[in-house]
């Protein structure tokens, strides 16, 4: 029995290697740096350098890419402009996320628990807090997640798809559980996320097995060829394809596979929610695009039912339930469910336009999401004796925020308007290009529903804006809220505001760049 | 100057930002900055207008490129302005009337602590309205469309410390969103069928499109226009919008914003040319709303709400004209301009009355104000004569032409549309005279402690200028068909058609009906005593007082099913999804044990949801595929 070492073209994988390598180094640093304070600074530095370097490398590769792209690892991975575009996006989200991870309140308090392994409310926890311990492992965990997501966008084989999925999911499960306050809620969210995530991974694997059984291949190209050669339609192929798609829809958070989102979003430390909401959705959308366009293109007609039904259900349920939420993070979670529906609208008929529209849509959604959650970290409850407590996430607590902090409230209003798709914000252009893509392939009724849903969704966004600006602070509540001033969180808010405005007013250059990236190496038609 | 028209939008917008951001330190001079910004826009508009007059008729359409907005791919869109006679007409109307109303507001809002914010919103409105009319594509027009909606929302709810005012603002917002959906859908259809969103591409491609496609686009545009212009069935918000300060009602809810729907229809003329069915619908909606508004106007005792009903009815006339095709376009815009003057003037007059009567709006508590407020009485009177269509005042020249044009055609249509327009003229005469006599004539029915007095010059001067316009502008523009000729490059040359009745007959009939209407109003409200509280009334009057039960219909058809749907979903969400979390939140301090229990149960049901979803999806896809 002979074993030939596979030829691996390492260079195209450079961005992913940088991130995962930095994550490994960061884990080692945990053992060598003793002072929590030094660890925190070094870890933040390592993360930022690695993520910016990865984004830079990806951009350089994108610019230098000749031809369509490179197939790596014998067809397991494909590095083309499309995947590089997504990698840049995820690295940017990771950078902003890392800044939020490191943000601290004025009292020097992080968003994470001082010691993850002790029971909430226990003596050990109090001791750990008093000693100033910090869970700085969150930075390498986030790096692993980013690395896995970047890999996820370029995978062209179902086995590797599963591996990449787990690489980025496992760190996220842990991160969700590390909240400093309301730790039971955090644990609960993490456990639900983990169990349901495991369930959906199983579904995905099951689907991969079906497809392997039907076509004898796990690579996208092999499956596509198998689908084409089957005369008529095979129930095994269809069931397998549906299960793989459902596994990815879970990560996107589409109805009826969304049930983890409100709990995980609410329970997770807000910086984690921000990062997870922006980056996971982007990575999962990228993977879904690739698997749909490369492997299942021949099943477009059969799968269209699935995409239509799930898109409609997500938009309607997400919007309607968000209307009645009184908890801010839950409201944004349901809004993200509705956005999952809008994303799926662009899949109607598998239009070519979606390959350039969806990166833009996710870019606009991601920056606004990161910005909105960054604002949430800045609005704090205050106890009667003046100590600053956790985040004020009940809607009522935001009444009159415009008077307390006009700039912060103004930034939040801008992000909400962008979610609502009001012109001159990034969200409008994003919705516009996504819906235009759907219309070009006759997805017209779906766009009709999407437009109505986004009009209805405007209510709960505007309701919050009205609450912030037109409602007075309730009597007796004047001192119940404290506006925090964390420089790192402020940087994220400012960057997000600038991005939302730029992408909304002069989207040209970014649209053109994604237009350039709107090609898959193993073209859909091929 | 034509290339500098972007200044029209930039100056008020910049001023608005300065006022919003400068905070309290801008309080002493903020309102004058607002007036100056609006005035500058007017001067720029006037200079551009003079330059345009010097050009040859065919060169009067001028494109101004701003920047590439959404380049590349299937959709290539530049942000640009289109300056042509139609948009120039609006620019002059908006900036001129707007500046006068800014000036008026300086005095009207004098005692309001938030005057600076008020002017910021007014400037924002002017900028957005100018963007709406100057945009060279539907997408950019939509930006302005949303902008005026936002300004309108902010201004209706300006006194939001009163809950019902905040509700009124929300209602306007909701109804306008329905209209917006129409515009978005129209854009989607244009993009799909006509291949673009800029006017040039759309209008060039329109003749090749099928009638069905154009009809769909036209009807969606009509939905948009109905929302913005308060036409049936989306009219219910306008009356409530009167909660805003009166200058806002004058500028936004009478003279300019509410006429944006008419602009949209006239601008989209090439689309409607290929869609006769949509065109007829426009005319029918207009005719119906003009009667509906007039009927509601007859029963209202609130002076502002009566004027709002009248606005609805007058816009109905414009819609009717716009739905008649090329013969009507010029008259629709003509009436829009004269209406902008006389209705704004009357609203300012109403504001002046309220100013002198401690914000009383009930006309049953007015009466005999002609001696106390002479300037207001005279200026309001000129507006009243204009809206009645009494020659030679402005309204006569524009409204009479619309009635004539409505009688043109074949079959039953001219009789129905013309008849409605004719009856509407009589009804208008009745309810406007009722309003005028109840306010200024008869016996004084003031509440105790009222000392009506004339308003300061800052308020009366704009009223006088608008009254002069109400009196003579129509005659000036109608002479030698000046206005129709000016608009011809945009609206196209209209063939002359003979109405089904001779023109003199129509004119005499109109004037006769107007005289009868005014005479009845005089007998009932001028010469006789008016009861101080509304008397018990017939079913029809009660219906009219309640806006023809529009709100009840809305509640029954939209609100209740919507509420039930939401409640059901909320219940489902609370029972199935939220249950555990709520319990956790309440009880997590107590024991970890109970938390673990609820978690176990919940995740199972979550997973079950997913599994059921998956099975259904697989069954549907496999069944559908095989």
Q: Give pLDDT tens digits for B38-59.
A: 889 899 888 888 888 888 777 7
Cβ within 8 Å, pair B181-A512 = no
* Mean pLDDT, rounded, for B475-483: 80
B72 contacts on A by Cβ (under 8 Å): 508, 511-512, 515
Rounded to a whole number, what is the distance in Å from the CA of A495 to chain B's nearest CA? 20
Token pair recorded at residue B623: 């069944």
The single-letter DSSP state of residue A472 is P
pLDDT over 70 percentage in chain A:
98
pLDDT at residue number B74: 56
Q: Give pLDDT tens digits for A144-162.
A: 999 999 999 999 999 999 9
Q: Which of A470, A513, A516, A517 to mutate to test the interface with B (most CBs of B within 10 A)?
A: A470
Rounded to a whole number, what is the distance in Å from the CA of A256 to chain B's nearest CA? 6
Whether the per-residue pLDDT at A98 is higher than 80: the answer is yes
Whether the per-residue pLDDT at B364 is higher than 70: the answer is yes
Residue by residue, DSSP assigns B30-71 as HHHHHHHHHHHHHHHHHHHHHHHHTS-GGG--EEEEEEEEE-
* Mean pLDDT, rounded, for B570-579: 46
Is there a cis peptide before residue A256, judged by omega within 30 degrees of 0? yes
* Mean pLDDT, rounded, for B573-587: 43
| pLDDT band, residue B548 (cuts 50/70/90) | low
Interface of B with A in 131-160 (CB under 8 A): 139, 142-143, 146, 157, 160
CB neighbourhood size of B286 (10 A): 34
Q: Give pLDDT tens digits for A110-130.
A: 888 888 888 888 888 888 888
pLDDT at residue number B559: 56
Cβ within 8 Å, pair A422-B146 = yes
Q: Which of B10, B13, B24, B72 to mutate to test the interface with A (most CBs of A within 10 A)?
A: B72
pLDDT at residue number A442: 79
pLDDT over 70 percentage in chain B:
86
Question: Interface pTM (ipTM) of the complex?
Answer: 0.78
Cβ within 8 Å, pair A452-B181 = yes
Rounded to a whole number, what is the distance in Å from the CA of B119 to chain A's nearest CA? 17
Rounded to a whole number, what is the distance in Å from the CA of B232 to chain A's nearest CA? 20
Q: Is B207 on the interface with A (CB under 8 A)?
A: no
pLDDT at residue number B581: 40
Interatomic CA distance for residues A494 and A486, integer angstroms: 12
Q: When comparing pLDDT for B303 and A203, which is higher? A: A203
* Mean pLDDT, rounded, for B183-190: 84
Whether the per-residue pLDDT at A37 is higher than 90: the answer is no
Interatomic CA distance for residues B373 and A265, integer angstroms: 63
Q: Is B619 on the interface with A (CB under 8 A)?
A: no
pLDDT at residue number B536: 64
Rounded to a whole number, what is the distance in Å from the CA of A244 to chain B's nearest CA? 11
Cβ within 8 Å, pair A259-B606 = yes
Whether the per-residue pLDDT at A364 is higher than 60: the answer is yes
Token pair recorded at residue B311: 């606005």
pLDDT at residue number B441: 81
Q: Is A469 on the interface with B (CB under 8 A)?
A: no
pLDDT at residue number B577: 43
Q: Is B606 on the interface with A (CB under 8 A)?
A: yes
By Cβ distance, the residue of B180, B184, B573 closest to A321 is: B573
Judge contact between B257 and B152, C-beta under 8 A. Answer: yes
List phi, psi (to 5°) of A431: -60, -40
By Cβ distance, the residue of B68, B177, B573 closest to A458 is: B177
Whether the per-residue pLDDT at A311 is higher than 90: the answer is yes
Dihedral sign, CA of A318, A320, A321, A324?
positive
Rounded to a whole number, what is the distance in Å from the CA of A317 to chain B's nearest CA? 8
Residue by residue, DSSP assigns A181-201 as SSHHHHHHHHHHHHHHHHHHH
Interatomic CA distance for residues B311 and B340, integer angstroms: 10
Interface of A with B in 311-370 (CB under 8 A): 317, 320-321, 323-324, 353, 356
Cβ within 8 Å, pair B580-A188 = yes
Whether the per-residue pLDDT at A14 is higher than 70: the answer is yes
B160 contacts on A by Cβ (under 8 Å): 470
Q: Is B185 on the interface with A (CB under 8 A)?
A: yes
Interatomic CA distance for residues B307 and B305, integer angstroms: 5
pLDDT at residue number A465: 86
Q: Is A246 on the interface with B (CB under 8 A)?
A: yes
Min mean pLDDT across A367-381, B112-126, B423-437, B553-567 is at: B553-567
Token pair recorded at residue B403: 């009635």
The single-letter DSSP state of residue B546 is T
Q: Give pLDDT tens digits for B8-38.
A: 888 888 888 888 777 777 778 888 888 888 8
* Mean pLDDT, rounded, for B431-444: 84
Interatomic CA distance for residues A407 and B421, integer angstroms: 52
Cβ within 8 Å, pair A200-B142 = no
The single-letter DSSP state of residue A436 is H
Q: Is B537 on the interface with A (CB under 8 A)?
A: no
Q: Give pLDDT tens digits for B264-321.
A: 999 998 888 888 888 889 999 999 998 888 888 888 888 888 888 889 899 999 999 9
Residue by residue, DSSP assigns B163-211 as HHHHHHHHHHHHHHHHHHHHHHHHHHHHHHHHS-SBHHHHHHHGGGS-H
pLDDT at residue number B560: 55
B70 contacts on A by Cβ (under 8 Å): 429, 432-433, 507-508, 511
B138-156 vs B211-229: helix crossing angle, rounded to 10: 20
Q: Is B610 on the interface with A (CB under 8 A)?
A: yes
* Mean pLDDT, rounded, for B413-438: 87
Q: Which among A496, A513, A418, A504 has a CA at the least distance from the CA of A86?
A: A513
Cβ within 8 Å, pair B621-A305 = yes
Cβ within 8 Å, pair A470-B160 = yes
Whether the per-residue pLDDT at B601 is higher than 60: the answer is no
pLDDT over 90 percentage in chain B:
4
Interatomic CA distance for residues A413 and A429, integer angstroms: 17
Q: Give pLDDT tens digits for B148-183.
A: 888 888 888 777 667 777 777 777 777 788 888 888
Interface of A with B in 429-448 (CB under 8 A): 429, 432-433, 435-436, 439-440, 444, 447-448
Cβ within 8 Å, pair B620-A309 = yes
The single-letter DSSP state of residue B251 is I
pLDDT at residue number A418: 94
List phi, psi (to 5°) of B80: -150, 165
Bridge partners (DSSP) listed for residue B499: none
pLDDT at residue number B558: 53
| pLDDT band, residue A105 (cuts 50/70/90) | confident
A423 contacts on B by Cβ (under 8 Å): 139, 142-143, 146
Whether the per-residue pLDDT at B86 is higher than 50: the answer is yes
Cβ within 8 Å, pair B618-A309 = no
Q: Is A266 on the interface with B (CB under 8 A)?
A: yes
pLDDT at residue number B485: 79
Whether the per-residue pLDDT at A454 is higher than 80: the answer is yes
Cβ within 8 Å, pair A191-B75 = no
Interatomic CA distance for residues A186 and A125, integer angstroms: 15
Judge contact between B197 and B217, C-beta under 8 A. Answer: no
Cβ within 8 Å, pair A321-B157 = no
A191 contacts on B by Cβ (under 8 Å): 599, 603
pLDDT at residue number B597: 39
| pLDDT band, residue A290 (cuts 50/70/90) | very high
Q: Give pLDDT tens digits for A365-420.
A: 999 999 999 999 999 988 888 788 888 888 888 888 888 888 899 999 999 999 99
Interface of A with B in 83-112 (CB under 8 A): none
List phi, psi (to 5°) of B408: -85, 140
Rounded to a whole number, what is the distance in Å from the CA of B624 to chain A's nearest CA? 7
By Cβ distance, the residue of A191, A242, A506 closest to B67 is: A506
Q: Which of B581, B593, B615 to mutate to test the interface with A (most CBs of A within 10 A)?
A: B581
Q: Give pLDDT tens digits for A160-193.
A: 999 999 999 999 999 999 988 888 889 888 998 9
Interface of B with A in 46-75 (CB under 8 A): 67-75
Rounded to a whole number, what is the distance in Å from the CA of B71 to chain A's nearest CA? 5
Q: When comparing pLDDT for B624 and B303, which is higher? A: B303
Min mean pLDDT across A365-374, B97-106, B340-349, B494-503 is at: B494-503
Q: Give pLDDT tens digits for B212-232.
A: 888 888 988 998 998 888 888
By Cβ distance, the residue of B565, B581, B613 closest to A256 is: B613
B599 contacts on A by Cβ (under 8 Å): 188, 191-192
Alpha-carbon distances of A302 from A204, A298, A350, B211, B622, rounded to whole Å? 18, 9, 12, 33, 8
Average pLDDT, chain A: 88
């Amino acid at each position: 029995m002979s074993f030939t070492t596979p030829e691996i073209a390492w260079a195209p994988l450079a961005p992913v290697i940088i991130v995962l390598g930095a994550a490994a180094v960061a884990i080692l640093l945990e053992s060598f740096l003793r002072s929590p304070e030094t660890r925190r600074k070094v870890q933040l530095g390592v993360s930022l350098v690695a993520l910016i370097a990865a984004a830079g490398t990806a951009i350089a590769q994108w610019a230098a890419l000749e031809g369509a792209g490179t197939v790596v690892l014998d067809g397991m991975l494909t590095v083309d402009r499309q995947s590089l575009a997504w990698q840049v996006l995820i690295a940017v989200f990771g950078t902003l996320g890392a800044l939020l991870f490191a943000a601290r309140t004025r009292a020097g308090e992080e968003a994470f628990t001082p010691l993850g392994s002790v029971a909430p409310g226990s003596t050990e926890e109090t001791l750990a807090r008093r000693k100033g311990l910090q869970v700085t492992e969150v930075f390498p965990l986030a790096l692993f997640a980013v690395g896995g997501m970047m890999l996820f966008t370029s995978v062209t084989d179902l086995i590797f798809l599963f591996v990449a999925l787990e690489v980025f999911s496992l760190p996220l499960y842990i991160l969700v559980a590390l909240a400093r306050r309301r730790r039971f809620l955090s644990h609960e969210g993490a456990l639900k996320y983990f169990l349901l995530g495991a369930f959906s991974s199983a579904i995905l694997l099951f689907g991969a097995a079906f497809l392997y059984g039907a076509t004898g291949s796990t690579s996208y190209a092999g499956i596509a060829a198998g689908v084409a050669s089957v005369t008529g339609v095979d129930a095994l192929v269809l069931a397998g394809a549906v299960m793989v798609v459902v596994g990815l829809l879970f990560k996107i958070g589409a109805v009826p596979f969304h049930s983890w989102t409100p709990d995980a979003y609410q329970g997770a430390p807000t910086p984690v929610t921000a990062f997870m909401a922006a980056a996971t959705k982007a990575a999962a959308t990228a993977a879904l695009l690739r698997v749909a366009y490369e492997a299942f293109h021949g099943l477009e007609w059969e799968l269209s039912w699935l995409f239509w039904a799930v898109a409609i259900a997500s938009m309607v349920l997400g919007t309607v339930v968000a209307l009645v939420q009184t908890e801010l993070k839950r409201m944004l979670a349901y809004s993200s469910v509705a956005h999952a529906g809008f994303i799926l609208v662009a899949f109607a008929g598998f239009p070519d336009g979606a390959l350039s529209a969806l990166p833009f849509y996710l870019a606009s959604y991601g920056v606004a999401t990161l910005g909105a959650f960054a604002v949430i970290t800045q609005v704090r409850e205050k106890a009667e004796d003046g100590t600053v407590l956790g985040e004020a996430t009940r809607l009522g607590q935001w009444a009159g925020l415009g008077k307390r902090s006009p700039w912060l409230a103004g930034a939040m209003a801008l992000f909400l308007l962008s979610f609502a798709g009001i012109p001159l914000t990034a969200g409008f252009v994003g919705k516009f290009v996504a819906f235009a893509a759907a219309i070009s392939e006759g997805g017209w009724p779906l766009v009709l529903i999407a437009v109505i849903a986004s009009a209805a969704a405007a209510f709960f966004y505007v309701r919050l804006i009205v609450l912030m600006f037109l409602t007075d602070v309730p009597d007796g509540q004047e001192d119940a809220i404290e506006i925090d001033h964390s420089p790192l969180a402020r940087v994220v808010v400012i960057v997000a505001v600038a991005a939302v405005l730029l992408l909304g007013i002069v989207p040209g250059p970014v649209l053109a760049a994604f237009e350039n990236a709107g090609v898959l190496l193993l073209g859909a038609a091929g | 100057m034509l290339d500098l028209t972007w200044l029209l939008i930039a100056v008020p917008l910049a001023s608005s930002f300065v006022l919003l951001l400068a905070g309290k330190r801008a309080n002493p001079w903020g309102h004058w900055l607002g007036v100056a910004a609006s005035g500058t826009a007017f001067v720029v508009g006037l200079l551009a207008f003079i330059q345009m007059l010097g050009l040859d008729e065919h060169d009067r359409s001028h494109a101004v490129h701003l920047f590439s907005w959404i380049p590349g791919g299937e959709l290539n869109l530049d942000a640009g302005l289109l300056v042509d006679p139609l948009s120039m007409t609006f620019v002059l109307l908006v900036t001129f009337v707007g500046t006068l109303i800014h000036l008026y507001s300086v005095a009207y809002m004098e005692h309001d602590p938030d005057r600076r914010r008020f002017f910021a919103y007014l400037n924002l409105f002017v900028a957005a309205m100018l963007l709406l009319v100057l945009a060279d594509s539907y997408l950019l027009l939509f930006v302005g469309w949303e902008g005026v909606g936002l300004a309108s929302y902010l201004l209706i709810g300006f006194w939001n410390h009163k809950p019902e005012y905040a509700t009124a603002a929300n209602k306007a917002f909701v109804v306008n969103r329905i209209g917006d959906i129409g515009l978005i859908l129209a854009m989607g259809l244009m993009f799909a069928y006509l291949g673009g969103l800029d006017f040039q591409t759309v209008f060039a491609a329109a003749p090749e499109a099928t009638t069905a496609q154009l009809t769909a686009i036209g009807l969606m545009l009509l939905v948009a226009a109905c929302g913005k212009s308060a036409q049936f069935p989306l009219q219910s918000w306008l009356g409530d919008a009167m909660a805003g300060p009166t200058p806002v009602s004058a500028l936004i809810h009478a003279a300019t914003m509410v006429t944006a729907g008419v602009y949209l229809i006239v601008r989209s003329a090439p689309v409607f040319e290929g869609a006769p069915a949509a065109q007829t619908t426009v005319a029918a909606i207009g005719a119906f709303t003009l009667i509906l508004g007039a009927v509601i106007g007859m029963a209202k005792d609130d002076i502002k709400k009566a004027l709002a009903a009248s606005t609805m009815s007058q816009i109905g006339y414009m819609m009717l004209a716009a739905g008649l095709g090329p013969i009507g376009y010029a008259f629709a815009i003509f009436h829009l301009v004269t209406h902008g003057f006389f209705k704004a003037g009357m609203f300012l007059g109403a504001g002046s009355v309220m100013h002198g009567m401690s914000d009383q709006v009930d006309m049953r508590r007015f009466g005999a104000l002609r001696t106390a407020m002479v300037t207001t009485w005279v200026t309001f009177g000129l507006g009243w004569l204009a809206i009645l269509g009494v020659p030679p005042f402005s309204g006569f020249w524009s409204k009479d032409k619309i009635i004539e044009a409505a009688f043109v055609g074949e079959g039953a249509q001219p009789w129905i549309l013309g008849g409605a327009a004719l009856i509407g003229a009589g009804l208008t005469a009745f309810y406007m005279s009722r309003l005028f006599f109840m306010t200024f004539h008869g016996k004084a029915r003031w509440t105790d402690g009222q000392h009506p007095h004339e308003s300061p010059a800052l308020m009366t001067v704009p009223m006088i200028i608008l009254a002069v316009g109400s009196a003579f502008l129509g005659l000036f523009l109608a002479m030698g068909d000046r206005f129709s000729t000016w608009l011809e490059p945009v609206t196209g040359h209209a063939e002359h058609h003979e109405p089904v009745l001779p023109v003199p007959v129509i004119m005499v009939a109109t004037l006769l009906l107007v005289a009868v209407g005014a005479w009845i109003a005089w007998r009932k409200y001028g010469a006789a005593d008016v009861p101080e509280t509304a008397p018990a009334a017939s079913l029809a009057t009660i219906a009219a007082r309640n806006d023809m039960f529009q709100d009840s219909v809305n509640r029954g058809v939209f609100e209740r099913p919507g509420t039930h749907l939401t409640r059901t979903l909320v219940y489902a969400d609370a029972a199935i999804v939220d249950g555990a979390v709520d319990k956790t939140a309440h009880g997590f301090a107590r024991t970890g044990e109970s938390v673990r229990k609820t978690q176990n149960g919940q995740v199972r049901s979550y997973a079950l949801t997913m599994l059921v979803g998956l099975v259904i999806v697989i069954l549907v896809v496999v069944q559908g595929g095989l």
